[in-house]
Amino acid sequence: MRPMTITEKIFAKHAGVKEVTPGDLVNAKVDIALGNDITAPIAIHEFKRIGAKKVFNKNKVVLVPDHFTPNKDIKSAEQCKVLREFAIEQKLTHYYDGGEVGVEHALLPEKGVVVPGDLVIGADSHTCTYGALGAFSTGVGSTDLAAAMVTGELWFKVPESIKFVFKGKLNKWVSGKDLILHVIGDIGVDGALYKAMEFTGKPIENLSMDSRLAMCNMAIEAGAKSGIIAPDAITEAYVAKRAERAYKFYASDPDAQYSEVREYDCSKIEPKVAFPHLPENTKNVSDVKKLKIDQVVIGSCTNGRLEDLQIAAKILKGRKAAKYVRLIVIPATPFIYNEAMKLGYFDIFLKAGAVISPPTCGPCLGGHMGILAAGERAVATTNRNFVGRMGDVKSEVYLTNPAVAAASAILGRIAHPDEVMKK
């Protein structure tokens, strides 16, 4: 049997074959089919249009209305109503609303809904996040979601894999967000088009799960089909206490074939900032000179987890956001919200002048809770900075990690955390 990558092994298992080769077209069973309040209404409409009566498995179809919630207007309320009624009709196990809803790609790993070895599809491009658990997960269109909801299967072209090998020791304030921004800055937003990005090396093995999730979350920003990290002891510690189902750890064979192998020395990677209007426009934060900002957003499916809030709180403690800078903090799930409150982070954020939002995607996609006016600049721990992404087409979004975001809020300009912590 030919040696295979972790991605190829997961595909072979779910397609019911002994082996697959990149470029093969396979019909594969899905473990989770996910939709949100923007994409699921279309899928539900198509589900009904073809005369389907029941989803293939009420435990495996997941609906999370997180993008425009709490509902910001009548149209968003109607979108969410479609999901709610369908979830009730189909008796879906995994439907989250109100005080239970969180940002989907933080909520599902936390709840143990997605587990290692899964094949996951979601009508949201950042579904690639779950690769951090050792699952193959990818975004699909709403009609593909509808097909999966009916049949429990979907066809795929098995992607080639690129292996990214990280070496050396991480510098202070550098996290998974910086590693993936460095990679995207190196290969570009189409550098991994329709490929699986496999992240390996000792620094990756030492990354926390929160940092791994942030890293895989942005694989799509390099055009990738997925991002993935082989599960290990850190994965086991994370999933063992929360997994709803049995899981399986896959690993690439030592002689597996890759379309490309790229190596990075982490000792040379500093905290990064991606300039408008593409995630590939990366610079070292230390090279950015006195760039005034109007807003800072700490949150999203990239960096709204507890570790992210902890880092932000460490820097903001005893300090205030600069005058005229709006600081918005968005815990990604109710659990994270509650833990941050219990740990005293909210007290720090409020004293710093922050607005604390309930879990929502909100400003990340220009939804609500922090829309930018023309000419305004935001530093955000989100994943995209396209034209008009967070508001007016003449606004600008700069992507960073939570440490840089917090420091920037204090100084009113893009800043290195050391500028604040030395004071």
Three-state SS for the chain is: CCCCCHHHHHHHHHHCCCCCCCCCEEEEECCEEEEECCCHHHHHHHHHHCCCCCCCCCCCEEEECCCCCCCCCHHHHHHHHHHHHHHHHHCCCEECCHHHCCCHHHHHHHHCCCCCCCEEEECCHHHHHHHHHCCEEEECCHHHHHHHHHHCEEEEECCEEEEEEEECCCCCCCCHHHHHHHHHHHHCCCCCCCEEEEEECHHHHCCCHHHHHHHHHCHHHHCCCEEECCCCHHHHHHHCCCCCCCCCCCCCCCCCCCCEEEEEEHHHCCCEEECCCCCCCEEEHHHCCCCECCEEEECHHHHCCHHHHHHHHHHHCCCCCCCCCEEEECCCCHHHHHHHHHCCHHHHHHHCCCEECCCCCHHHHCCCCCCECCCCEEEECCCCCCCCCCECCCCEEEECCHHHHHHHHHHCECCCHHHHHCC
**Residue 1 has what pLDDT?**
82
Q: Which residues contact 344 (CB under 8 A, 6 or more apart)?
A: 313
Amino acid (1-letter code) at residue 321: A
Give me the residues of the chain with pLDDT under 70, please.
423
Domains plus CATH for the chain?
A: 6-264 (3.30.499.10), 272-421 (3.30.499.10)
Q: For residues 367 and 389, give the distance between their C-alpha atoms in angstroms, rounded to a whole number.
A: 9
- Grouping H, G, I as helix, E, B as strand and the rest as coil, residue 76 is helix
**Residue 176 has what pLDDT?**
96
**Residue 422 has what pLDDT?**
76
Q: For residues 163 and 157, give the distance between their C-alpha atoms in angstroms, rounded to a whole number.
A: 19
Residues 145, 127 contacting (CB under 8 angstroms)? no
| Strand 326-329 to 396-399 pairing | unpaired
Closest CA to 135 of 89, 91, 196: 196
**Residue 52 has what pLDDT?**
96
DSSP code for 126: G
Closest CA to 225 of 22, 20, 16, 361: 22
Q: What is the pLDDT of residues 152-174, one digit of tens each?
A: 999 999 999 999 999 999 999 99
Share of the chain above pLDDT 90, in %: 98
Q: Which residues pair with 27 in a beta bridge?
A: 155
Q: For residues 60 and 32, give the distance between their C-alpha atoms in angstroms, rounded to a whole number.
A: 5
